[in-house]
Amino acid sequence: MSSLKLRPKPLTHKNDPLAIIRTRQDTHGRPVTIAGPMVRYSKLPFRQVCRKYNADIVYTPMILAREFVRNSHARTADLSTNESDTPLIVQVGVNNTTDLLRFVEMVSPFCDGIGINCGCPIKEQVREGIGSALIYNPDLLCEMVSAVKDKYGNLVRLETKIRIHDNWDDTVALCRRLCDAKVDWITIHGRTRTTRSSVPVNLEAIRYIRERISDKRVPVIANGDCFSMADFNRIVEHTGVDGVMAVRGLLENPAVFAGHTKCPWGALELFWHYTVQFGGLPFRLIQHHLHCMLENMGLEKHLHRELMKIKTTAELLDWFDANFELKRKSDAGFGIAVDIPYSTKSNCSEYGMP
């Protein structure tokens, strides 16, 4: 086995995220669109739905390097993928260089880039020095970036997703150091570690930072409050960034980047298809995805209450078949409907539903 070596996945113009970020404007007439990492939710079926609706680059949820390199069960639970899951960035939560280098060795053959999470505000992670704690620990963060880039160079793409500091100049200083450490691109979430998501994202801060690191020629991606293509254009116009990452907006409407102002029914059909094809998604997670999408579509309230009472995947499927016209891949018109196709024979009781 010692002769077996893992090599990073070859990067071409089709899957190299940096090349895609740099060329999207020329090839598609718009900056790059990115589906960001969501704790628990950016699993393979949802990633594939986002890809169907124009997400150029898609992230996994944050994976803790410490667990991944030490535990096979954690590996099985945290990451599943396939050939069509590309370009894929695996986001990592990490607080030391050793774990990061080992994580990169194990993951880089199966993805197109790795992103260090420096934005997660969850206190359990911050206490461990993971997530947004890293923006207050620039020595460690830059040491980790340098270690990966020194070892792999352009064979592995490495991104950092940061939040802004209370003092924007601290963020500028951090970004300049990251650029010197040869990070490939930087994603900036326009809120501080303690800003609530209900407070609008600070686009002015993103613009301020981008302008002051523009001489480094490292692409900057803006993140925060992208719920529609109108938001996308507004963010790009205000900040001058190379692309926009949507996260919460995609959870309720994975078709944001395709210009849909509300989640189209086809997205739900695709989600069901990928969920059962790939398997392994826990019921509560499936239910939450569907809840978010249906809420965005304005589902009737009594049906929403029924949805939340369901306890298993099979019952959920029966409930969909009873109340809507849920097409399968072999059915004509699969994945293209926009409005909710309520069933005319809506009667849950025959399926044993409450």
Partner 1 sequence: MLNVYISCRGNFKTKLFRFSSASHRDQRRTMQQVSKGLADLKVEQTVTDPQGNPGTKNRAVTKPVSLNAATGEVMVKKSTGKSKIRKGQPEKEYQRQLEHYIGVEKGPLHTPEGWMAKNEALREVVEGPELDLTLKQDRQQLVSRCHLLYYERQYAECAAYCEKLLSRFEVLTDAKRTQKEKDELRYILKQCQSKLSQ
Per CB under 8 A, the list member of 10, 153, 259, 279 interacting with partner 1 is: 279
Catalytic residue among 111, 118, 120, 226: 120
Q: Let me know if 19 is exposed, middle or buried by CB neighbors in 10 A (0-12, 13-18, 19+).
A: middle
Q: How many CA atoms lie within 13 A of 171 on its CB side?
A: 29
Per CB under 8 A, the list member of 23, 82, 346, 347 interacting with partner 1 is: 82
Instruction: Tell which residue, 330, 231, 246, 292, has the closest CA to residue 50.
Output: 246
* Contact map string, positions 128 to 147, toward partner 1, x by CB under 8 A: xx--xx--xx-xx--x----
Q: Which residue has the tokens 């686009």?
A: 203
| Range in contact with partner 1 (rule: CB under 8 A) among 112-120, 243-251, 258-266, 307-315 | 307-315
DSSP string, 302-325: HHHHHHHH--SHHHHHHHHHHHB-
Minimum CB–partner distance for residue 346 and partner 1 (Å): 18
Q: What is the dihedral of CA 69, 283, 255, 307, to 10 degrees?
A: -160
Minimum CB–partner distance for residue 108 and partner 1 (Å): 11
Is residue 184 a contact residue for partner 1 (CB under 8 A)? no
Q: Let me know if 250 is exposed, middle or buried by CB neighbors in 10 A (0-12, 13-18, 19+).
A: buried
User: Active-site residue 120, yes or no?
Assistant: yes
Per CB under 8 A, the list member of 73, 217, 301, 302 interacting with partner 1 is: 73
Contact residues toward partner 1 (CB under 8 A) are 1-2, 4, 6, 44, 66, 69-73, 75-77, 79-84, 95-99, 102, 105-107, 109-110, 123, 126-129, 132-133, 136-137, 139-140, 143, 166, 192-195, 199, 202, 272, 276-280, 282, 312-315, 317-318, 328, 351-352
